Amino acid sequence: HIGQFKIDHMGHAGNVDPARGDIGCHQHPDLARTEFRHRLFALRLALLALGVGEGDEVITAPNSDAGTASAIYHVGAKPVFVDVEPDTMNLDAGLLEAAITPRTKAILPVHPYGHPADMPRIMELARKHGLLVIEDACLALGASIAGRGTGLWGEIGCFSFASTKHLGGFGS
């Protein structure tokens, strides 16, 4: 299933070294060296690689575009929306714990407009409840919080070079 997905939607990104702070995935080195035509594919494969699927719930922000929720739906899981902080437009970490249920498998914070979500607090709650964290860092390339880059906090961080992103490539 994942093998065919990789053939259809991925290329090879070359040298990525998370130890140097490069973009990548420190928990899944095979995925760290992949690139995607669209963030929907990156998020979908991240969810699949971590075993998120039918009957699971994934907590995320409601103010992201359709790609975030679509990736969750594509793997058979249900998005659970938690409100955002009014000053940052980031997932409100103070509301996360109330949204966690026995079916919650992951938290998918979005880092909008180059502003990182409260990753130290999100990671603390994820570890406390045994949840996975997949970061949608497509609009926060180069941003950091507490000295650590976006996309390097959770199990997998997803970036995009689509034409509508900060470092857009030619076409999507």
**Nearest alpha carbon to residue 111 among 82, 94, 91:** 91
Q: How far apart are CA 12 and CA 156, in angstroms?
A: 17
Q: How far apart are CA 106 and CA 79, in angstroms?
A: 10
The residues carrying an active-site annotation are 165
Burial of 63 (0-12, 13-18, 19+ CB in 10 A): middle
